[in-house]
Amino acid sequence: MIGIYGGTFDPIHYGHLRTALEVKEAAGLNEVRFVPCRLPPHRAVPEAEPELRLRMLELALLDAEPGFRIDTQELDRPGPSYMVDTLASIRAEIGIRPLCLIVGLDAFLGLPRWHRWRELSDLAHILVMRRPGSEPDFAGDLAPYVTELRTDQPAPLHHQPAGSIHFVDVTQLDISATRIREAVRTGRSARYLVPDPVWRFIQNEGLY
């Protein structure tokens, strides 16, 4: 089973890497594909150029956890990076193998604003990373969607290509790329928030 971990990765940090590993273990993923987006539809344009964000991702995954890979398709595609297009292209590649979209709870709560959002669960399962034990109130269109598709065990995900929502408890590392950029901008260190090769790259390139 393949997991898709999308993000701006501006820069990639240990909050991404650790949660990716925990989700991989909890859901029994063979592969986690990190998909850096070129132009996020729902938020500000990333500060670092796409090729620099990709370079940092490559540095972070040197000597990485087995099965961690990078998929550059959103960088190669013109226009906004829509996850539904990304999942459709991976689906075309992998046939009926189970596929999971990995999202943080915050991102999941905004799902109804994503382009053609209802098609996401036709193409993949959705793994939602959450603070252990947290149980938010799902409102609006999300409430019936969660009620209909939720499964409390990861095992059934392996038997269907797509269509379920499963919540995974992950260790909360209160690290955000925004705060890393802010630290660098104000002359503070990002060391130990990002892998050392990424921190050296940020310094050498004068990023942020």
Cα gap 144→155, rounded to integer Å: 22
Closest-CA residue to 126 (of 104, 106, 151, 100): 100
**Rounded-to-10 torsion of CA 53, 58, 62, 68:** 100
Dihedral sign of CA atoms 7, 66, 165, 137 in order: negative
Q: Is 165 helix (H, G, I), strand (E, B) or coil?
A: strand
Number of residues that bind ligand ATP (CB under 6 A): 17
- Residue 36: CB minimum distance to ligand ATP, A: 8
Single residue of 3, 7, 50, 98 touching ligand ATP by CB under 6 A: 7
Examine residue 3 and tell whether it contacts ligand ATP (CB under 6 A): no
**CA Rg, the chain, in Å?**
17
Which CB atom, from 8 or from 164, has the smaller least distance to ligand ATP?
8
- Considering the complex, what minimum distance in angstroms separates the CB of residue 159 from ligand ATP? 25
In the chain, what are the helix, strand and coil shares in percent, each to the nearest 5?
Answer: 40, 15, 40
Q: Which one of residues 1, 2, 3, 16 is an interface residue with ligand ATP (CB under 6 A)?
A: 16
* DSSP-derived pairing of the beta strands 2-7 and 99-104: parallel
| 71 contributes a contact to ligand ATP by CB under 6 A | no
8 is a contact residue toward ligand ATP (CB under 6 A): yes
Kindly tell me which residue out of 178, 188, 192, 200 binds ligand ATP, with binding defined by CB under 6 A: 178
CA distance 110 to 74: 20
Q: Is 59 in the site for ligand ATP (CB under 6 A)?
A: no
Q: Phi then psi for 199, rounded to 5 degrees?
A: -65, -40
Contact call for residue 202 and ligand ATP (CB under 6 A): no
Using CB under 6 A as the criterion, what x/- string covers residues 73-112 for binding ligand ATP?
A: ------------------------------xx-xx-----
Task: Name the segment binding ligand ATP (CB under 6 A); options: 6-14, 81-89, 93-101, 143-151.
Answer: 6-14
Q: In the complex, which residues of this chain contact ligand ATP (CB under 6 A)?
A: 7-10, 15-16, 19, 103-104, 106-107, 129, 173, 175-178
